[in-house]
Chains A and B, each alone.
Chain A
Amino acid sequence: MTVSSDLLTVLKAERTEPPKATPPRPALPLAAAAVAAVLVTVTLTAATAQSVSKVLPGFGLPVAGGAVVVAVAVLTLLRPALRAVRSGRAAAAAWSEDRRADARRAASEGREDARTVLGWCLAALVLLGAVWFLFANDRAVQRTFLDGEVIGISLRETASAFGTNLFIAVAAQILILVWGLALALARMAPGRTGRPLRLLATAYIDGFRAVPAIIVIYLIGFGLPLAEVPVLSSLSPVWFAILALTLTYGAYVAEVFRAGIESIAPGQSAAARSLGLSHSATLRHVVLPQATRRVVPPLLNDFISLQKDTALVNVIGTIDAFNQSKIFASNHFNLSSVTVVAALFILITIPQARLVDRLVAREQRRGKGA
């Protein structure tokens, strides 16, 4: 009793002074900045259009059209910018009349409007900057990276060489799933008898996570043929690449599997074992089905980076999309064909990245629901 009444006295002592009202942070300066930003951005759009049309003679109309679209889009931002100014004024007026809640609300609305306008202006300015960069030096940048002619010539063969990248990726992914799970289970082999397996698996995983993938590909692609190992040495370079990527990514995926398996509450194993299920039956029916769902997002992330690493096979001379595009690049002294490869990678990666996001979100919802 005494303790709690003491607590209340302390609290009361601190509460004797009523809190002073502080005015809301002013919205007007931000609002003014927003109006200025709109005007500056429109001006810069016009300037960019003018300089681009100089280096693109004969394209005056489309350039002007594009500029008008951007300028109109930016000008629509004037409405929220001006609304921010009005809100700022209203906030000041309300505060002076002691309508505090009104003042804070108006100031908050004004600041939000102004910040939104500033954000979109920044985006437009970045876009304009990119256009400037592309057409700088009399279009030298655009010609180097985005030459329509070279893209047209290289597109078909580069795209079909990209099939090699896809084949390597898919074949490696299948092997990696098996190899990674085997490594993970070996690394978690139980008890004193499991120790040798655990040590082996740990050494392997540490080793292959430490060595850069490009070096593994190089060593296997050039080393295995020289080593004259039966069967292995006579594989094609594509299979050397698949083997090398499997060895490297197997180590990463093993850790993903292990984390997934270890994330399953120990009570699950205890319950299964107490029912008389063996160690392997517990893994198969209870632990792995739950772990699989959890490892899918990180697994897909590893697979996305694996797909990109298929471009590393160019060091052993496999004609993948990158190598093919480099041939075009040196023939034409122009990098636009390599841009094509970059675009192809973007094309296959982005849908998968979005899928990972959705799976992660679903897993989080499920976690909360449980």
Chain B
Amino acid sequence: MAFIEIDGVHKSYGQTPVLRGIDLTVAQHQVVTLIGASGSGKSTLLRCINGLEEISGGEIRVGGDVASGRGTDVDRLRRDVGMVFQHFNLFPHMSAVRNVALAPMQVRGIPRAEAEEQARALLARVGLADKADSMPDRLSGGQQQRVAIVRALATGPRALLLDEITSALDPELVAEVLAIVRELAEGGMTMLLATHEMGFAREVSNKVCFLHQGVLLEEGPPEQIFGDPQQERTRAFLRRIVEAGRL
């Protein structure tokens, strides 16, 4: 069953088109990966699904309900769809546990003690039990991103959007973050992620989509996209990735 449906979505900033008619579905318990060069529209698409950007045309449906355009209950939508960002965006004035507990307290109205207890349990699940009371600037990039993932999970979303969540990390910290995503995938979490980690995309995805200048040029199972791409643009993109030693 399709959980996220993207139907002919257009988006432009002023006169500059960023998304030019994207069609894409993410089924429940599926992991879909967006690949493509910087500026191809991956991040914009994720931000549109989360209601952080308004789309200029087309329609987005989440869980069968229209989630774009006028009158969308974005607060409800965001409870169903969590998001993790490239630069973590932890709240620097709050400890890790407060970062995680904030939304359950504010959005769900859970009392602080209970919210923080849950937050600690979640942090322990990702190996950060001893960092729960640390401020974000005392954590490594990998630890910060793990807190951010847990923060997005704390409101109990049914799907996660991951926007290049390892791009700002030192190489040796990437694995600890990807391990969590892998675990979530195995647990059946519906995920749509933009990434430059091709090896990971190949391993974890049910479907890989190649975006080029705001158009979804090619999609298919990872073996096909990485092993036998049909489009010349996809081949050129993957060739550059291989030349850079990233695949």
Contact = CB atoms under 8 A, between A and B. Distances in A.
Nearest to B107: A276
A94 B26 CA distance: 80
Contact of A271 (B79, B89, B137): B89
B52 interface: yes
B52 A290 contact: no
Contacts of B148: 271
A268 interface: yes
A272 to B, nearest CB: 8
Nearest to A275: B103
Contacts of B93: 289-290, 293
A86 B180 CA distance: 70
A277 B82 contact: no
A275 B78 contact: yes
A268 B155 contact: no
A341 B207 CA distance: 77
Given A274-B78, A275-B78, A277-B103, A370 B137 contact: yes
B192 to A, nearest CB: 14
Contacts of B52: 270, 273-274
A275 to B, nearest CB: 4
B151 A275 contact: yes
Given A270-B85, A285-B106, A370-B137, A278 B91 contact: no
Contact of A270 (B89, B92, B106, B107): B89
A277 B87 CA distance: 19
A42 to B, nearest CB: 55
A277 B89 contact: no
Contacts of A272: 91, 102
Given A270-B52, A369-B137, A370-B137, A275 B102 contact: yes
Nearest to B103: A275
Given A271-B91, A290-B93, A370-B92, A276 B85 contact: no
The A contact surface, by secondary structure, is helix
B50 interface: yes
B159 interface: no
B181 interface: no
Interface string A258-274: 00000001011011111
B50 A274 contact: yes
B155 A271 contact: no
Given A285-B102, A370-B137, A276 B79 contact: yes
A193 to B, nearest CB: 13
B13 to A, nearest CB: 14
Interface residues of A, number: 20
A369 to B, nearest CB: 7
A190 to B, nearest CB: 12
B103 A276 contact: yes
Contacts of B107: 275-277
Contacts of B75: 276-278
Interface in A336-370: 369-370
A274 B82 contact: yes
A261 B245 CA distance: 42
B89 A275 contact: no
Nearest to A292: B93
A268 B89 contact: yes
Contact of B83 (A274, A277, A278): A274
B4 interface: no
Contact of B82 (A265, A275, A289, A290): A275
A199 interface: no
Given A273-B52, A278-B75, A267 B87 contact: yes
A175 interface: no
B102 A276 contact: no
Contacts of B102: 272, 275, 277, 285-286
B152 A275 contact: yes
A253 B228 CA distance: 62
A296 to B, nearest CB: 14
A277 B85 CA distance: 16
A281 interface: yes
Interface string B130-156: 000000010000000000100110010
Contacts of A281: 106
Interface string B90-129: 1111000000001100110000000000000000000000
20 contacts: A267-B85, A267-B87, A268-B91, A270-B89, A271-B83, A271-B90, A271-B91, A272-B102, A274-B78, A274-B152, A275-B152, A276-B103, A277-B75, A277-B102, A277-B103, A281-B106, A285-B91, A286-B91, A286-B102, A290-B91
Given A274-B50, A285-B106, 11 more contacts: A267-B89, A268-B91, A272-B91, A273-B52, A274-B83, A275-B102, A275-B151, A275-B152, A276-B78, A277-B75, A370-B92
